[in-house]
Amino acid sequence: MILPQAFTDQLKTQIGTEFADFEAALLQTPPVSIRYNPRKKHASAGEIIPWCEEGRYLEQRPVFTLDPLFHSGAFYVQEASSMLVGYVLPQVATISKPLRVLDLCAAPGGKTTLLTSILHPDSLILANEVIKGRVMILKENVQKWGFPNVHVSNHDPEDFERLEAFFDVILIDAPCSGEGLFRKDPAAINEWSPGSVQVCAGRQKRILDAAMPLLRPSGILIYCTCTYNDIENQESGQWILDGEQFTEIKIDIPDSWGVVTKPIGYQCYPHRVKGEGFFFSVFQKQAGFETAHPYDTLPRRSKEEGFRSCKRLHAKQTPEASRWLEKPENFHFFVKPNGEVLALMDSQLEEVRILDNTLSAKGIGLEMGEFKGNDFIPSHALALSTALSPDILRLELSGNEALLFLKKENLNIEAPRGWLLVTHQGLGLGWVKGLGNRINNYLPKDWRIRMEIPE
Ligand code: SAM
């Protein structure tokens, strides 16, 4: 691995005599780690990651695509250092009560699924990604994880200005120069230059500038990158402090984990922490920065419900929609102009209304499916949702059958007539329609496995 000279010089200044160990670590195979979904329990394997109860190091990298449990959302493949965000949050926020959380730079959704797993189930989580081409993967990962309290949007950070002081926690996992990924993704080395570090730092300040007003007083800002340089980490942090609205919060981290305390924030290096390069810092907004335009003065769009993008589902269709959920009493059913039925959690209905009225590019609530005449056609998101009713008929498949289903093949399996949830090890993978001696496969085309399945 040939490192740019300017990068080597910078790291030598930063870590001095540890540079040789750092360089040696870059030549090692990156550790493989996954994080289990606490609501999709099944047997777990691997060495526990000390800072993440659900995190595991695996000895080797399996072909995840060929593991049906990967497609059911039973686990997420995530490098271990970045799981520290899940260790930090409970230290700085009261996660035993519902919070409003904005994950501003969210695709592909690793930290969204991490936060979702530890926050109170009634928390409102908005996962935003500015780049349109990356929203689909974010949405897929959020749907696979299956928690109905997560909403996805596709906006520039500056588009949120009407949500001033709305959020309790904002996570900015900033686009950065990616120095911490050189081992995992050597292509990142070619994209690196002192100039690109400056460009990233400028972008980060613009993102921070747009995000800071969105926090309520006492709210928590977590800023992280997967890079080492002081320009993107220390200078960005100092810039936050210079505004005099925020103070840094120091985090208790056991020495044995190898995380380095920086003047601002904390750094993981691969020769010290079994994971990739990751930086994080935590700030709290001070009281006295109340806003001139708090979100709760936003006008209601319609006198009846106030939702801009959907209206209440017709009463005569509600019993059928309710039948698909385990606790329908906790949801309200809405329908979009395109006929898509949404389930919105009762506990956050008012807040979701505000999101609906202030953001144009978003997907709120749980996509349930649509009515065709009197028939209800369930959506793929519903198959993966943790809110699905356990009373829905299921069809358990072997590993090989599950992979054929995930390749979108039509299986010749005897099955009762009607909608069936295809499961593997009890976890939902998608829908089929039983036709007696065969089944029709309703896996969405875009979700199918494209690789060959070995015999
Ligand atoms: N949080 C993600 C996770 O854990 O899976 C990774 C986020 S990645 C480090 C940074 C994200 O910021 C990318 O998805 C990128 O598209 C997005 N991004 C790029 N430019 C941006 C901008 N100007 N404002 C906000 N986000 C931006």
Q: What are phi and psi of 89, to 5 degrees?
A: -55, -45
- Nearest Cα residue to atom 17 of ligand 1: 105
Q: How far is the CA of 175 from the centre of ligand 1 (A)?
A: 5
Rounded CA gap, 251 and 3, in Å? 32
> What is the average pLDDT across 387-392?
98
Provide the 10 A C-beta neighbour count for residue 258: 16
Whether ligand 1 lies within 6 angstroms of the CB of 432 is answered as: no
Running DSSP on this structure, what letter comes out for residue 411? P
- Nearest Cα residue to atom 20 of ligand 1: 175
Q: How far is CA 450 from CA 384, 441, 446, in A?
A: 20, 16, 10
Q: Residue 71 in contact with residue 29, Cβ under 8 Å?
A: no
> What is the average pLDDT across 252-280?
98
Q: How far is CA 238 from CA 169, 282, 330, in A?
A: 20, 12, 44
Q: Which residues contact 406 (CB under 8 A, 6 or more apart)?
A: 68, 71, 429, 430, 443, 447, 448, 449
* Whether residue 305 has pLDDT greater than 90: no
Whether ligand 1 lies within 6 angstroms of the CB of 205 is answered as: no
311-312 and 331-335 beta bridge pairing: antiparallel
pLDDT value for 32: 97
- Classify each residue of 286-309 as buried b or exposed e, where b means 16 or more C-beta atoms within 10 Å of its C-beta: eeebeeeeebeebeeeeeebbbbb
pLDDT value for 18: 98
* Whether residue 220 has pLDDT greater than 60: yes
pLDDT tens across 329-348, in order? 999 999 999 999 999 999 99
* Whether residue 293 has pLDDT greater than 70: no
Q: What are phi and psi of 300, to 5 degrees?
A: -75, 140
pLDDT value for 59: 96
Chain mean pLDDT for the chain: 94
Q: How far is the CA of 107 from the centre of ligand 1 (A)?
A: 6
Q: Residue 144 in contact with residue 72, Cβ under 8 Å?
A: yes
Strands (DSSP E) found in 339-397: 340-345, 362-363, 366-372, 375-378, 394-396
pLDDT category at 264 given cuts 50, 70, 90 is very high
To 10 degrees, what angle do helices 5-15 and 19-26 make? Answer: 130
Rounded CA gap, 169 and 221, in Å? 6
Ligand 1 atom nearest the C-alpha of 106 is 1
Locate tokens 């002192």: which residue?
194
* Whether residue 199 has pLDDT greater than 90: yes
pLDDT value for 374: 83
> What is the average pLDDT across 215-230?
97
Q: How far is the CA of 176 from the centre of ligand 1 (A)?
A: 8
Q: Based on the residue annotation, tell me whether 226 is a catalytic residue of this protein.
A: yes
Rounded CA gap, 137 and 109, in Å? 8
Q: Residue 92 in contact with residue 248, Cβ under 8 Å?
A: no
pLDDT tens across 92-121, in order? 999 999 999 999 999 999 999 999 999 999
Q: Residue 394 in contact with residue 340, Cβ under 8 Å?
A: no
Whether ligand 1 lies within 6 angstroms of the CB of 86 is answered as: no
* Whether residue 314 has pLDDT greater than 70: yes
Out of 224, 226, 268, 310, the active site residue is: 226
pLDDT category at 256 given cuts 50, 70, 90 is very high
Nearest Cα to Cα of residue 128 among 363, 345, 336, 352: 363
pLDDT tens across 53-81, in order? 999 999 999 999 999 999 999 999 999 99
> What is the average pLDDT across 265-279?
98
Query: What percent of the chain shows pLDDT beyond 90?
Result: 89
pLDDT category at 178 given cuts 50, 70, 90 is very high
Torsion sign, CA atoms 242, 92, 169, 302: negative
Q: How far is the CA of 301 from the centre of ligand 1 (A)?
A: 31
**What domains, with CATH codes, occur in the chain?**
80-285 (3.40.50.150), 298-389 (3.10.450.720), 393-455 (2.30.130.60)
pLDDT value for 290: 61
pLDDT value for 287: 83
The beta-carbon contacts of 192-196 under 8 Å, at least 24 apart in sequence, are: 192/4, 192/7, 193/4, 193/6, 194/6
Q: Which residues contact 404 (CB under 8 A, 6 or more apart)?
A: 411, 453
* Whether residue 236 has pLDDT greater than 50: yes
Provide the 10 A C-beta neighbour count for residue 62: 13
Name the residue of 76, 79, 105, 184 whose CB sits within 8 Å of the most ligand 1 atoms, as the mutation to test its pocket: 105
Cis peptide before 194 (omega within 30 of 0): no
> What single letter denotes the amino acid at residue 422?
V
* Whether residue 42 has pLDDT greater than 90: no
pLDDT value for 303: 47
Residues in the chain: 455
* Whether residue 302 has pLDDT greater than 60: no
pLDDT value for 411: 86
* Whether residue 289 has pLDDT greater than 80: no
Rounded CA gap, 124 and 107, in Å? 18
Whether ligand 1 lies within 6 angstroms of the CB of 105 is answered as: yes
Q: How far is the CA of 130 from the centre of ligand 1 (A)?
A: 7
pLDDT value for 438: 86
